[in-house]
C-alpha cells in the first residue's frame, strides 16, 4: 500500500461526466444526474439489432388500435397479412442467429 506523505492536494476536481469503453459496449456516466451508475449504455455489437427491430415491429403490430371515441378498430386482412409477414421475417432471422433452436421436422420424408 502506498503511503501519502506531505500535504494533501488542494482543489482536486472529480470528473462528473465521462465514458468508459468496454470493447463491445460504451457506458456513459453523468454523476450530477445519476450518481449511482451510468445513464446510458451503448451496445456496439450489432449482431442482434435486426432481430430486436423486427421484434418491436411485430409487437407494435400486435397491439390493438383504437378509434378517437375509444372503440377498438377492426383487424383487417391487410393487417393480418402484415403481422404474418413480420412474424415470418422475425423467425427466419431468429433461426439464422440461433440455428440450434430450429424446430425438428416431424413426420415422413417426402417421396421423390
Report d(CA 53, CA 50) in Å as an integer: 5
Residue 1's pLDDT is: 61
Classify 6 as helix, strand or coil: coil
Cell 449511482, residue? 36
Higher pLDDT, 85 or 47: 85
What's the pLDDT tens digit per position in 1-57? 677 788 877 878 888 999 999 988 899 999 999 999 999 998 888 888 899 999 999
Report d(CA 1, CA 24) in Å as an integer: 33
The set of residues, in sequence order, having a beta carbon less than 8 Å from that of 65 and lying 6+ positions away, is: 72, 73
Report d(CA 37, CA 18) in Å as an integer: 12
Report d(CA 66, CA 75) in Å as an integer: 11
Residue 4's pLDDT is: 75
Residue 7's pLDDT is: 81
Amino acid at each position: 500500500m502506498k503511503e501519502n506523505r506531505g500535504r494533501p492536494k488542494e482543489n482536486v476536481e472529480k470528473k462528473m461526466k465521462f465514458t468508459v469503453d468496454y470493447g463491445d459496449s460504451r457506458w456513459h456516466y453523468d454523476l450530477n444526474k445519476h450518481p449511482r451508475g451510468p445513464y446510458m449504455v451503448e451496445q456496439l455489437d450489432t449482431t442482434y439489432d435486426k432481430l430486436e427491430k423486427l421484434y418491436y415491429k411485430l409487437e407494435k403490430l400486435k397491439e390493438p388500435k383504437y378509434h378517437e371515441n375509444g372503440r377498438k378498430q377492426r383487424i383487417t386482412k391487410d393487417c393480418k397479412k402484415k403481422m404474418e409477414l413480420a412474424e415470418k421475417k422475425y423467425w427466419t432471422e431468429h433461426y439464422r442467429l440461433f440455428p440450434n433452436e430450429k424446430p425438428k421436422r416431424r413426420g415422413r420424408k417426402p417421396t421423390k
